[in-house]
């Protein structure tokens, strides 16, 4: 019998996995919005009201729960009124952060809401704190959410939406320690309280306000910010606290050694240390855990590709990126009692994208397939797991390090157990015993994402090089052995019996 063991404690719940943990992020940056989403009504690319149909169809398959927009750094230089009203009259502005591209403002609030409705996602608007004002943000909120007869609500109706949008998720700035105003935590704390004061639950929409957290795992930012905002017994009006965690790169997006393969996956898994440390600091101020931790932007950030504008952050996406995504999502699932949302950066044509577009063609990336396979975890109850397998040693930047070959997470919904397992070993199959405690499995199905070459990726000419395949179902019973292919992600679905 195998010494490697995956134990699933089906009767030891962690918490319900909020669907928003599988969220996305689309910024006015490079090709994300133009032409990743928006091609305009007159385009020869099939579209609905200017939004491309192929991208909508692909995104819908992921069941995206939430979409964060319009940035990123762009958000703190965005003035919402530029993006409403007749498109032909909207100003042409300069995207200062991302390549000085001309921003036509054709894609604004109404187009964003339209996109969200088409893909079935909740809109999440990130407000402008860096160069805006509390009045500007509360007016955007009124424009979106007010059901009565105000001038702004009338304007929304004149622009085609008589019913309020009911936007729940509002970010109070983005990276306010950097592109969102270069503030220290205390200064941002003052601004946060000021802005939050004017963001009301109007016309029955209960807001979920999100504060800007640290750059990576910086407990000092968190402690100093929280000391500033926890000034009354009730605490601040804050529902989420958002850290950003980019694991960077090792090698390039498509060329890397085995050590670099491991180094990137290892760094991605560093988000667990962030979660543990940030939640410990948050617990000191919020022992009842009313405020959720959000990983608002995350993913791999490779070097700019040759022949591409470096400010457009376009990058290829390989099976290694898929393992980065899967290992991270497993960590979020395991911390479902604190992590309430995550938004991978970014949806289309930017950083660790789901989709790449070229003219009228699209290709889905290995990371896309992870989201499609992992969608079954959404709304499940995360349960405790133990992974005992080999450790892989590797060297990177002069340091000897180790990474567990096997990792994953499990959740139960409607008597179906979803178990996701990553085998990070670049070249070795790993056999492990799956030990289901507290329930027996009657039926199972399994899908696997794997590639013979650890550099494998999808291109417009070979779009299915990395694609999920069905794996043989496991035998019934509580204990079954499975051989996990190298460099793979497997998702099992067990029907639980009593």
Provide the binding-site residues for ligand AHR, judged by CB under 6 A.
27, 71-73, 174-175, 297, 345-346, 351
Burial classification of residue 414, based on how many CB atoms lie within 10 Å of its CB (0-12 exposed, 13-18 middle, 19 or more buried)? exposed
DSSP notation for 24-82? EE--SSTTTTTTTTB--TT-SS-EETTEEHHHHHHHHTT---EEEES-SGGGGG--GGG
> Strand 381-388's sheet: what is its strand order?
469-471, 440-450, 488-497, 416-423, 406-413, 381-388, 5-16, 430-437, 479-484
Could you identify the residue written with the tokens 């670049």? 426
CB of 351 to ligand AHR, least distance (A): 6
Left (φ > 0), alpha (ψ -120 to 50) or beta: where does 446 sit? beta
CB of 128 to ligand AHR, least distance (A): 13
Distances (CA, A) of 125 to 5, 131, 276, 464: 43, 16, 27, 34
Cβ-based nearer residue to ligand AHR, 260 or 297: 297
Cβ-based nearer residue to ligand AHR, 38 or 245: 245
Q: How many CA atoms lie within 13 A of 401 on its CB side?
A: 20
Whole-number Å distance between alpha carbons of 465 and 266: 25
CB of 100 to ligand AHR, least distance (A): 15
Radius of gyration in angstroms for the set of CA atoms belonging to the chain, rounded to a whole number: 23
CB of 175 to ligand AHR, least distance (A): 5
Cβ-based nearer residue to ligand AHR, 84 or 351: 351
Cβ-based nearer residue to ligand AHR, 171 or 485: 171
CB of 425 to ligand AHR, least distance (A): 30
Whole-number Å distance between alpha carbons of 277 and 230: 19
CB of 346 to ligand AHR, least distance (A): 6
Count of CB atoms situated within 10 Å of the CB of 122? 19
Could you identify the residue written with the tokens 């990126």? 321
DSSP notation for 174-226? S-TTTTTT---HHHHHHHHHHHHHT---GGG---EEEEEEEESS-HHHHHHHH
CB of 350 to ligand AHR, least distance (A): 7
CB of 21 to ligand AHR, least distance (A): 19
DSSP SS3 for 433: strand
Whole-number Å distance between alpha carbons of 351 and 32: 10
Whole-number Å distance between alpha carbons of 303 and 300: 10
Active-site residue identified among 142, 175, 191, 260: 175
CB of 391 to ligand AHR, least distance (A): 32
Active-site residue identified among 27, 106, 272, 297: 297
Cβ-based nearer residue to ligand AHR, 130 or 468: 130
Cβ-based nearer residue to ligand AHR, 73 or 363: 73
DSSP notation for 436-488? EESSEEEEEEEEEEE-SSTT-B--SSSTTSS--EEEPPPPSBSEEEEEEPSSE
Cβ-based nearer residue to ligand AHR, 73 or 422: 73
Cβ-based nearer residue to ligand AHR, 78 or 262: 78
CB of 120 to ligand AHR, least distance (A): 23
Cβ-based nearer residue to ligand AHR, 34 or 262: 34
Judge whether 336 and 21 are in contact, CB under 8 Å.
yes
Is 175 annotated as catalytic?
Answer: yes
3-state per-residue secondary structure call for 374-429: HHHHCCCEEEEEEEECCEEEEEECCEEEEEECEEEEEEEECCEEEEEEEECCCCCC
Query: Which single residue brings its beta carbon nearest to ligand AHR?
Result: 72
Whole-number Å distance between alpha carbons of 32 and 346: 8
Is 142 annotated as catalytic?
Answer: no
Judge whether 402 and 495 are in contact, CB under 8 Å.
no
Whole-number Å distance between alpha carbons of 33 and 350: 10
**Catalytic positions, please?**
175, 297
């Amino acid at each position: 019998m195998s010494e490697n063991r995956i134990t699933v404690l089906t009767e030891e719940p962690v918490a319900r996995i909020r669907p928003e943990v599988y969220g996305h992020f689309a910024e006015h940056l490079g090709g994300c919005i133009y032409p990743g989403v928006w091609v305009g009504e007159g385009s020869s690319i099939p579209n609905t009201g200017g939004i491309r149909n192929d991208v909508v169809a692909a995104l819908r398959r992921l069941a995206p729960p939430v979409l964060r927009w319009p940035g990123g750094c762009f958000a703190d230089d965005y003035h919402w009124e530029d993006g409403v009203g007749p498109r032909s009259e909207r100003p042409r502005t300069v995207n200062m952060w991302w390549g000085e591209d001309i921003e036509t403002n054709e894609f604004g609030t109404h187009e964003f809401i339209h996109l969200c409705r088409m893909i079935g996602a909740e809109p999440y608007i990130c407000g402008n704190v860096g160069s805006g004002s509390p009045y500007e943000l509360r007016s955007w909120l009124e424009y979106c959410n007010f059901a009565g007869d105000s001038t702004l609500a009338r304007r929304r109706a004149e622009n085609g939406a008589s019913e309020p949008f009911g936007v729940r998720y509002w970010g109070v700035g983005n990276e306010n320690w950097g592109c969102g105003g270069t503030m220290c935590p205390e200064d941002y704390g003052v601004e946060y309280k000021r802005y939050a004061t004017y963001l009301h639950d109007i016309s029955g929409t209960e807001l979920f306000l999100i504060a800007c957290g640290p750059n990576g795992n910086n407990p000092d930012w968190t402690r100093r910010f929280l000391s500033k905002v926890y000034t009354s017994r009730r605490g601040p009006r804050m529902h989420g606290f958002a850290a950003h965690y980019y694991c960077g790169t090792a090698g390039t997006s498509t060329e890397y050694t085995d050590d670099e393969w491991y180094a990137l996956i290892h760094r991605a898994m560093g988000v667990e240390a962030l979660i543990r440390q940030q939640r410990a600091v948050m617990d000191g101020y919020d022992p009842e855990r009313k405020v959720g931790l959000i990983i608002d932007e995350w993913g791999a950030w490779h070097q700019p590709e040759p022949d591409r504008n470096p400010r457009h952050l376009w990058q290829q996406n390989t099976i290694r990126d898929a393992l980065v995504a899967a290992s991270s999502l497993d960590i979020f699932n395991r911390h479902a009692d604190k992590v309430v949302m995550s938004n991978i950066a970014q949806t289309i044509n930017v950083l660790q994208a789901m989709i790449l577009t070229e003219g009228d063609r699209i290709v889905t990336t290995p990371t896309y397939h992870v989201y499609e396979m992992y969608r079954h975890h959404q709304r499940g109850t995360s349960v405790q797991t133990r992974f005992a397998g080999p450790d892989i040693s590797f060297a990177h930047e002069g340091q000897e390090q180790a990474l567990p070959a096997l990792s994953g997470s499990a959740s139960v919904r409607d008597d179906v157990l979803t178990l996701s397992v990553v085998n990070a070993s670049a070249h070795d199959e790993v056999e492990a015993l799956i030990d289901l405690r507290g329930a027996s499995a009657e039926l199972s199905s399994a899908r696997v994402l794997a590639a013979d070459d650890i550099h494998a990726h999808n291109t417009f000419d070979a779009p299915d090089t990395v694609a999920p395949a069905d794996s043989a179902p496991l035998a019934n019973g509580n204990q079954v052995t499975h051989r996990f292919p190298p460099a793979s992600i497997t998702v099992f679905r067990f029907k639980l019996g009593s």
